[in-house]
Structure 1
Amino acid sequence: MATWRELVQYVREEYEVISSSDDEIRILFNFEEFDEDDERTQVVIVAREVLDAKHEWVQIASPVGTADKVDLRALLTEIGQSSIACGAAIMGDHVVLRHSLPLKDLDIHEFTDPLELLAGTADQIEEMFFGGDNY
């Protein structure tokens, strides 16, 4: 997989798409596919980013809650101790977990493994710090 179009086609075939635009596709990651007893879901945003007007990257991000309703130090400490596949950022009003990968010569496992890890971590962080399943 080497193009944004190929990645979008793969995502459309493998995941439940809830919205899309030219440079972004949003999916509803369903944990029930991996565990029949888990009815939780997580919104995951897959976006095309261009670095220095020439290098294409794919960013995987998932909102976990609003920044004004959380102890950011505790949240960042937890992410630092429990995650290897994502970092945290504030985008707009929301805390998001995100991971970025170069699109050129991207192997599908270099995309799916971090996506699954990020979705699972985001779901756990959301439940732990925000007490729900809103995203």
Structure 2
Amino acid sequence: MASWDDLVSYVRVRYEIMRSTDTELWFNLPTTGERTQLVVVRSITGADGEPGAQIASPVGKLTDLDLPHLLAAAGEQAVGGVVAQDGVVVFRHAIPLHEGELAAFDGPFQHVVHVADELEELLTGGDEH
């Protein structure tokens, strides 16, 4: 199994990390045009006890969003889902960390970033997150 430290080493050479702690990595990534998207990757332990990573990106304030529209739009995605955390709706997905397969992180990471950005633009018209 790959460890959290292995993932941190992998992303450090591929992405600019905005902030980091022992269990979190924060990024502010360009998406389309002048848009950017905040994304947080957290170290988690899966149900099987194995290491994993949760990738989360904010969509908007819970009180500002049309929830039926949000749920319908998020429901069109094959993986990931929306949750409310501290009054903010985030789109998130979790993946296991498999040794030698850290390159498999990029697809889910980019998916979360782009879906959250699309949802934010669709539902708020803005680019605050």
* Residue of structure 1 equivalent to 2:35: 40
* Residue of structure 2 equivalent to 1:95: 89
In the alignment, the residues of structure 1 paired with residue 60 and residue 47 of structure 2 have an alpha-carbon distance, to the nearest angstrom, of 30
Residue 130 of structure 1, CA deviation: 1.3
Q: Does 1:80 align with 2:80?
A: no
Alignment TM-score, normalising by the size of structure 2: 0.90
SS at match of 2:18: strand
In the alignment, the residues of structure 1 paired with residue 97 and residue 85 of structure 2 have an alpha-carbon distance, to the nearest angstrom, of 22
AA aligned to 1:45 is: V
Q: What residue ranges of structure 2 are gaps of 5+ in the alignment?
A: none
Residue 16 of structure 1, CA deviation: 1.7
Q: Does 1:114 align with 2:108?
A: yes
Q: CA RMSD in A?
A: 1.9
1 or 2, which has the higher helix percentage? Answer: 1
Q: Percent identity?
A: 36
Q: 2:61 aligns with which of 43, 58, 66?
A: 66
SS at match of 2:75: helix
AA aligned to 2:19 is: S
- Contact 2:4/2:43, CA 8 A, preserved across alignment: yes
* Residue of structure 2 equivalent to 1:26: 26
Describe the shift of the 1:106–1:89 C-alpha distance in structure 2 as closer, same or farther (beyond 3 A).
farther
- Contact 2:2/2:51, CA 8 A, preserved across alignment: no
- Contact 1:64/1:94, CA 8 A, preserved across alignment: yes
Residue 53 of structure 1, CA deviation: 9.2
Q: 1:56 aligns with which of 47, 51, 58?
A: 51
